[in-house]
Amino acid sequence: MRADAFDNVKCPFNYKKELMRARRALDEKVAKYILKNRAKSYRDLAQEFHLSLGTLSKIARHHHHERKPGPRSRQNEQTSPPQGETTPVVSFENTDKE
């Protein structure tokens, strides 16, 4: 980052507000880089930016809803019954006669 990046900020200023503004700008840059380099793993990208894997994932989630697909569980893959098998139909008609 350039040394004169905050020259347009007049003193006295709200330090927290300016820090958050700078962080949002940097997070947006990181998120754009993640989208351009979809072939790289999050672990490699986190090492490049000297961030934790959790921080990098949080930036990606927050700034872009289209993110790299993660691993999918094979345990719950089949939600419909297999073809050829039918599920029994249960009727809840009122059979009580008064």
Q: What is the pLDDT of residues 17-76, one digit of tens each?
A: 888 988 998 999 999 998 888 888 889 999 999 999 999 999 988 876 555 566 777 766
Measured CA to CA, the distance from residue 66 to residue 7 in angstroms comes to: 35
| Contacts of residue 48, Cβ cutoff 8 Å, sequence gap at least 6 | none
Q: Is 52 left (phi over 0), alpha (psi -120 to 50) or beta?
A: beta
| Confidence (pLDDT) at 53 | 92
Number of residues that make up the chain: 98
The DSSP letter of residue 19 is H
CB 35: neighbour CB atoms within 10 A?
A: 13
Residue 1's pLDDT is what?
A: 62
